[in-house]
Amino acid sequence: MIRDITLGQYYPADSILHRLDPRVKLMGTILFLVGLFLIKGWAGYAVATVFLFAMIRISKVPFRFIVRGLKTIFIILLITLVFNLFLTPGDRVLVQIWKLQITDKGLNTAIFMAIRLIYLIIGSSLMTLTTTPNDLTDGLETLLGPLKKLHVPVHEVSMMMSIALRFIPILLEETDKIMKAQMARGADFEHGNLIQRAKSLVPLLVPLFISAFRRASDLAMAMEARCYRGGEGRTKMKPLAYARRDYCAYGILILFLAVIIALRVLL
């Protein structure tokens, strides 16, 4: 259950999407998300679907890898679906169960909301799957660079993010290990109702936190030992530079957004 999160997990492959400048991919993800929320009606979703699946094909990331990330939002998805389905007032009532009713509008919103959420997760996992965390934070650092003038600690934040991303799989592994150790001594994580299960996670969190702090202290020392002293005077192993494919990608993105907007306005 715990290894299913793909967010922040780089999938090494050799594709155009992998080679794109991280800034393009970041902007692209943001534009895609904005696009998703601009969509009204089936035509827009069709365009988004084609666009997203084309990207998945290009990325050479196996489909099951991308879908795996969805399992973790399943509950959120279900809640949104149910709430939208039953609580949206509409003109025509399709089904009526006691006081709850499903209207045509409710059905519509529910389906669109679900698609939106699913695409949102797929879109952002696609970015993290094709971009190494270091590239990602490099991209963020450059994109947010102008904020440095406002004394926003851009470098520090991006360093923290890349470290957080790097430690996600390690901490997950650790959680797994602690869980197994506690299960071996009779702890039960799988039975009981939601509250009981949530309660059983508390003894898991304490050792996890302790170990995370210990790791953090070790890592800080290792970074200092390797002459880390903040962003100043630091050179880049992979300095960011736009290539032709990046401009092309920007073109495609703008085209995508333009089509979405056009569909919204025209239809």
Residue 224 beta carbon to other proteins: minimum distance, rounded to whole angstroms = 6
CA neighbours within 13 Å on the CB side: how many for 25?
27
Token pair recorded at residue 49: 């679907």
Token pair recorded at residue 63: 């489909």
Instruction: Pick out residues in 206-235 that bind other proteins (CB under 8 A).
Output: 215, 218-219, 221-229, 233-235
CA distance 60 to 247: 21
Chain centroid to Cα 156, Å, comes to 21
Query: Which DSSP letter does residue 3 get?
Result: G
Output 31 or 171, the one with its CB closest to other proteins.
171
Output 109 or 158, the one with its CB closest to other proteins.
158
Residue 190 beta carbon to other proteins: minimum distance, rounded to whole angstroms = 26
241 lies in the site for other proteins, by CB under 8 A: no
Residue 161 beta carbon to other proteins: minimum distance, rounded to whole angstroms = 12
Output 173 or 188, the one with its CB closest to other proteins.
173
Output 40 or 215, the one with its CB closest to other proteins.
215
Instruction: Pick out residues in 117-156 that bind other proteins (CB under 8 A).
Output: 132-134
**Residues near other proteins (CB under 8 A), total:** 30
**Whose CA is closest to 27, among 261, 251, 181?**
251
> Are 183 and 201 a contacting pair, CB within 8 Å?
no
Residue 42 beta carbon to other proteins: minimum distance, rounded to whole angstroms = 40
CA angle (190, 6, 19) in 5-degree steps: 170
Output 9 or 84, the one with its CB closest to other proteins.
9
Q: What are phi and psi of 93, to 5 degrees?
A: -90, 125
Output 31 or 240, the one with its CB closest to other proteins.
240
28 lies in the site for other proteins, by CB under 8 A: no
> Are 141 and 155 a contacting pair, CB within 8 Å?
yes
Output 194 or 227, the one with its CB closest to other proteins.
227
Residue 165 beta carbon to other proteins: minimum distance, rounded to whole angstroms = 7
What number of other Cβ atoms are within 10 A of residue 51's Cβ? Answer: 20
CA-CA distances (angstroms) from residue 44 to 27, 38, 111? 20, 9, 14
197 lies in the site for other proteins, by CB under 8 A: no
Instruction: Pick out residues in 157-186 that bind other proteins (CB under 8 A).
Output: 162-163, 165-166, 169-170
Residue 218 beta carbon to other proteins: minimum distance, rounded to whole angstroms = 4
Question: Mapping DSSP to helix (H, G, I), strand (E, B) and coil, where does residue 93 land?
Answer: strand
Outline where DSSP puts E strands in the chain.
93-97, 100-103
Crossing angle of helices 244-266 and 22-38, in 10° steps, is 10
Q: Which residues bind other proteins (CB under 8 A)?
A: 10, 12, 132-134, 162-163, 165-166, 169-170, 215, 218-219, 221-229, 233-239
